[in-house]
Chains A and B, each alone.
Chain A
Amino acid sequence: MNAAVTHSSAPAAVVVRRTIAASAEDLFDAWLDPQALAIWMRPGAGIRTTEAKVEPRVGGRFEINMHAESGVIPHSGTYRVIDRPRRLVFTWFSPHTGDRDTLVTVDFLPRDQRTEVVVTHEQLPEAKREAHTGGWTGALEKLDAFRGAGS
């Protein structure tokens, strides 16, 4: 039974995928264009507007301020990799990351006429603390398995 829960050494990650009927270039550009970001980077019905400022170069900063009824939710980060139209890597800092930097990688994978966009969000706060111990992905798998057990 131990083998089932000790196999992994990958760091923490939330992975979300979506295949979209658009070119990798169009999708990639939407991540670095402040006007585009202001339209689609607007989570939830409670967000009225989003303002985005970007310096689209490696080492450049971005700021995305989401205006909710309760106030402004600031998000910011630094671009680490800008490899159009394949991969975008940036740090991601917000009140929801425990006021610590996390890492987001966006991959754009051609799928016939469409593109699969894969967002990998790593180094979420608690993971960062003990990332060297590994086993985090296993922990997440266990969480999924346990979720039903408590209710």
Chain B
Amino acid sequence: MGEHQSTQLDGVFNALCDPTRRAILARLTDADARVTDIAAGFPISLNSISKHVRMLERAGLLKRSVNGRDHVLSLNAEPLAAASEWIDRYRRFWEGRLAALDAYVTSKQRKRK
């Protein structure tokens, strides 16, 4: 795994570690939204929401477009695909091993009979 990809994954996983940030992402899967719209849906300050948004931006999970005074946020799911792929590798590894374990143990049983 390259240095760049690893750094990107660190950012994505750190971003996803927080329930508020996951909720922001979930909100944006429905539709793009302004920072103020998002803040209205949470019981925390606009300032806190802005910090979470900046962290999501740094992880590449959000795109911000500025239209006059409005900052509109949209979801960028691309880095999630890399994170998902990373996790899938472990899943595929163990699925493959259990299939091989199955083949090994059941063939051994047949020989025993």
Contacts and interface: CB of A to CB of B under 8 A. Distances in A.
Interface of A: 1-2, 4-6, 14, 16-18, 20-22, 26-27, 30, 36, 39-44, 96, 98, 117, 119, 121, 124, 126-127, 129-130, 133, 135-136, 138-140, 142-147, 149-151
Interface of B: 6, 9-10, 13-14, 16-19, 22-23, 25-27, 29, 41-42, 75-78, 80-81, 83-84, 87, 89-91, 93-106, 108-109
A36 B77 CA distance: 42
A143 B96 contact: no
B105 A26 contact: yes
Nearest to A117: B98
Contacts of B84: 143-144, 146-147
21 contacts: A1-B23, A18-B99, A22-B109, A40-B100, A40-B103, A96-B93, A119-B94, A124-B90, A126-B9, A126-B10, A130-B13, A133-B18, A139-B16, A143-B84, A146-B25, A146-B29, A146-B75, A146-B77, A146-B80, A150-B76, A150-B80
A142 B2 CA distance: 25
Given A121-B94, A145-B29, 19 more contacts: A1-B26, A2-B19, A6-B22, A26-B108, A36-B104, A40-B97, A40-B104, A41-B100, A119-B98, A124-B90, A127-B13, A129-B14, A142-B16, A143-B83, A146-B25, A146-B77, A147-B81, A149-B75, A150-B76
